[in-house]
């Protein structure tokens, strides 16, 4: 049952005690719905490890077929290039290519001088 949990409704318990000639009605309330819940709470057991709790069922993915719906995958946005105000697409591509060439040239130079840098 998924509705069960550690803490339930307050369930009143009535006891009658005789004090001399008067019968006194004492109201004692219980914080837990069942003795099982009370015992596990006072023994400090984790609700996620008890098979009858809602937390266990959620954590171990029980009864998910009814509740869960498959999540849709988001389509990945493909990068596209367009011109910016003041610069056409051709100009932007030209500058990016020239930068890449400069990087390649610098790598070649560094490789040549690496033995001397120690």
d(CA 28, CA 15): 8
Q: Quick one: pLDDT band at residue 56, thresholds 50, 70, 90?
A: very high
Check pLDDT > 50 for residue 1.
Answer: no
Average pLDDT over residues 24-44: 79
Residue with tokens 């509705």: 3
Average pLDDT over residues 14-33: 61
Half-sphere exposure at residue 89, Cβ-oriented, CA atoms within 13 angstroms = 4
CB atoms within 10 A of CB 50: 15
The β-bridge partners of 86 are none
Chain mean pLDDT for the chain: 71
Token pair of 55, please? Answer: 């937390």
d(CA 35, CA 17): 23
d(CA 13, CA 37): 17
Q: Please indicate, yes or no, whether the overall pTM of this predicted structure exceeds 0.85.
A: no
pLDDT at residue 92 in the model: 74
pLDDT at residue 91 in the model: 75
């Amino acid at each position: 049952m998924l509705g069960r949990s550690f803490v339930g409704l307050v369930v009143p318990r009535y006891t009658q005690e005789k004090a001399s000639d008067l019968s006194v009605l004492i109201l004692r309330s219980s914080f837990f719905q069942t003795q099982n819940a009370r015992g596990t709470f006072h023994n400090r057991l984790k609700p996620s490890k008890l098979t009858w709790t809602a937390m266990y069922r959620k954590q171990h993915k029980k009864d998910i077929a009814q509740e869960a719906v498959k999540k849709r995958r988001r389509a990945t946005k493909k990068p596209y290039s367009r011109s910016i105000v003041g610069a056409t697409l051709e100009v932007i591509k030209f500058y990016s290519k020239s930068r890449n060439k400069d990087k390649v040239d610098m790598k070649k130079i560094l490789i040549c001088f690496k033995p001397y840098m120690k």
